[in-house]
Amino acid sequence: MRGLFTQFEAPDARRFVPSFDEPSYKATFDLSAVVPTGDMAIGNMPVARSEDLGNGTKRVTFETTPRMSSYLLFFASGDFERSAITAADGVEIGIVGPTGTGAQMTYARDSMAELLPYFDDYFGVRFPLPKLDNVAAPGASQFFSAMENWGAIMTFQRLLLLDPKLTSPGLKQGIYSVEAHEMAHQWFGDLVTMGWWDDLWLNEGFASWMAAKATDHFNPKWNWLLGQIDGREGAMSQDALATTHPVVQHVRTVAEMEQAFDGITYQKGQAVITMLEHYAGPDTWRDGLRRYMKAHAFANTQSKDLWEAIEQAGGADINRIAQAFTTQPGVPLVRVTSATCAAGKTTLALAQGEFSLEDTSGTSAQTWPIPLLLSAGEGEPVQHLMTGKTDRVTIAGCGPALVNSGQLGYYRTLYGAQALGGVLDGFAGLSAIDQYGLVRDNLALAMAGYQDLAVGMDFIAAVPADSDPVLAGNVASLYAALHEILEDDGAKAQLRDLASATYGPRLAALGFEARAGEDLTDTALRSELIRDLGGMGDPAVVTEARSRFQALAANPDALDGPLKSTWLAVAAANASPEDWDLMKSLAEKANSIVERQLYYAALGEAKDEALAQRTLDLAISGTPDATSGAQMIVAVAGLHPDLAWNFVRGHEDAVETLVSSSGRARFQARLVRASTNPEMVGTLEDYIAGIPADQAKPVSEALARLKVRLRDRPRQRAQIAAWLQAR
């Protein structure tokens, strides 16, 4: 593929055009470019005119943009083709990709045409540009998926073009979700823009929330909101460390700006918005957003402008709650100290604290006004705002007492023994989303030491294997994650056997091949179970994966289809030297950059340390592209963190050519995400001391996580082993 693409967020438009390159300096832009005659040129606006210059080039001039921030300016030129359709609101939707990929554009194009009128209606402001393109950039990126340039979204190819030979079910869902996220930005971020990067979450948190809302609206069978719990868990894991930051944070330098694109900004932002929307009521919330959009179109705002608009629409207490959750860091912890039933009603005694991975006392000097959603088995859940350190609430019913019914709140719930027993007893009758929320909550609390891991394991085991496909797949992945932390002893084998006994029959019923007309959730579950059981070493799955992979030697197309990346992952993890050589050869012969990056990344999954070393050597050889090289090193670090860290330290000049300067701190942090080496503590402390303070946040967080792992891992292993033995 031959092409040129711009990417300006956050501080790089000034490298393209002299400008006051800050979000509050909005302007209109007139852009023209001289490009090869046969190339297609794409900008924010449609082409106004094209002039043949007679020397193998042409001058393309675009229409004037609306008033917008400089980081949203976009230009691309290359050997492209475009597939276009007119949406119901009259806007032309286009997908742009390499010549020859037109057949892969239909799903993304039609999805965008479906989404655009939905956003027009929800926000109460029609999309103000005459066209909306989504341009496929080559392959994948190390750190992001797409960019919301106004009228000309850029998305990396693997998350835009649906290739039936390569696209997994998860990636197909990802195409839809990423499109919804970037399209939501056309309002949150492009039409109305944060005044400064302190309020980046007004862009990213809201786009994440709106993408989930729209994806769930059009794809109800995907049970998309259940999957969003994983994002909330990721945010809470980051927010429970002393290295966290508020959602609204003060940004002073370019390095701080780049590091603001994290789980707090995206996933905590999304979770807090979800909670606020339910507290205000969906109609009041939507009306407030419409006020906000109309009042601040083509202008800049701060968070307070949004809260004022919601309260003007009738959202009481929104500013108070929002300020608490966005300007102070941390995860609230609600303890259910007792749950007493009398005369058909349950009285809950509650206490508020803070969930921390480093200080498990649960106490905190700060408090939050926490919107609780309470239920005990009868009627609709009751909304209650907990404002003090303690509270007592009486609700109808004597069933399992839920404090975060529907999983709409951003807080953890720690049950006392009596209430916990009632929740487990009534677990089977709860919704899938509440079951999964309780599993993740109780597992996180147990992993951190607030309760024995037997509790977390009991909740995992309480989810039946024949449950909702999304729930089943997510819980199977928890077995795989716990399997990774165990040492190579009897407990590890016991956990693998338990997972195989639980989910092997479900996989057998699904079969190894997709069935005509099956729901995408079944296709996704098959992929998840193969990956998880195979990753744990299930003999039947590993044998099948190796057999399918080795067929590639005779037929390079043997694995083509939605499970290609899944089978590759299992085969790569269990690779022999001959398998590794075959995979390397397939990467070098691959016809597309997406396929090539898939093979190269798989090389880094090998459990064999000698093969891991060969992968590291290959990564900096110049044969893989820079993105693949960096991804290979990070993949090796998942199983061999010390090997990867020491390799990077010994080849810093070569590795730095693979990673952008703005992403180096995040890259270094990813190298030690699985380390349990006590000596790495001092190594990281020395590394942090040698880099600028404004670049240290990702590595400081990695150090904090390492210290928590070193403290907790022996207890976690012992408690899991005891639970398995007791079964």
Q: Can you spell out the DSSP letters for 685-716?
A: HHHHHTS-GGG-HHHHHHHHHHHHHHHHHHHH
pLDDT value of position 2: 82
Cβ contacts of residue 643 below 8 Å, gap of 6+? 609, 612, 613, 616, 636
Residue 613: inside a domain: yes
Range of the domain at 221: 168-329
Cβ contacts of residue 371 below 8 Å, gap of 6+? 275, 276, 278, 279, 321, 383, 384, 385, 409
**Active-site residue identified among 22, 182, 256, 528:** 182
Residue 248: inside a domain: yes
Look up the pTM and report it.
0.95
> Are 275 and 410 within 8 A, CB to CB?
yes
Residue 160: inside a domain: no
Residue 88: inside a domain: no
Residues 424 and 370 both lie in one domain: yes
Residues 276 and 406 both lie in one domain: no
Query: Final residue of a domain: which of 302, 329, 356?
Result: 329
Residues 338 and 221 both lie in one domain: no
pLDDT value of position 131: 98
Residues 433 and 508 both lie in one domain: no
Tokens of 529: 């179970």
> Are 14 and 26 within 8 A, CB to CB?
no
Residues 308 and 186 both lie in one domain: yes
Residues 196 and 281 both lie in one domain: yes
Residue 41: inside a domain: no
Catalytic residue check, 182: yes
Query: Final residue of a domain: which of 405, 434, 453?
Result: 453
pLDDT value of position 660: 82
pLDDT value of position 361: 84
Residues 296 and 367 both lie in one domain: no
Total domain count, the chain: 3
pLDDT value of position 525: 97
Residue 102: inside a domain: no
CA angle in degrees (0–180, nearest 5) for 454-458-461 = 135
**Secondary structure class of 48 (helix, strand, coil):** strand
CATH number of the domain that residue 391 is part of: 2.60.40.1910
Cβ contacts of residue 224 below 8 Å, gap of 6+? 173, 177, 212, 215, 216
Residues 338 and 323 both lie in one domain: no
E-strand stretches of 283-442: 299-301, 331-342, 345-355, 370-374, 382-386, 390-396, 412-415
Residues 287 and 414 both lie in one domain: no
Nearest-angstrom CA–CA distance, 127 and 113: 12
CATH number of the domain that residue 241 is part of: 1.10.390.10
**Secondary structure class of 436 (helix, strand, coil):** helix
**Secondary structure class of 513 (helix, strand, coil):** coil
Residue 676: inside a domain: yes
**For every residue of 62-96, which 3-state class applies, written as one string?**
ECCCCCECHHHCCEEEECEEEEEEECCCCCEEEEE
Residues 653 and 666 both lie in one domain: yes
Residue 434: inside a domain: yes
pLDDT value of position 553: 87
Tell me which residue has tokens 């926490």: 370
> Are 300 and 194 within 8 A, CB to CB?
yes
pLDDT value of position 362: 74
pLDDT value of position 308: 95
Q: Which of 62, 77, 117, 75 is closest to 93 using CA atoms?
A: 117
Name residues of the chain where pLDDT drops below 70.
1
pLDDT value of position 389: 95
Residues 550 and 604 both lie in one domain: yes
| 213-227 pLDDT, tens digit each | 999 999 999 999 999
Query: Final residue of a domain: which of 453, 468, 501?
Result: 453
Residues 680 and 629 both lie in one domain: yes
Q: What is the sign, positive or negative, of the torsion defined by CA atoms of 405, 411, 412, 416?
A: negative
Nearest-angstrom CA–CA distance, 694 and 295: 35
Backbone angles phi, psi at 630, to 5 degrees: -65, -40
Number of C-beta neighbours around residue 569 at 10 A: 19
Cβ contacts of residue 576 below 8 Å, gap of 6+? 608
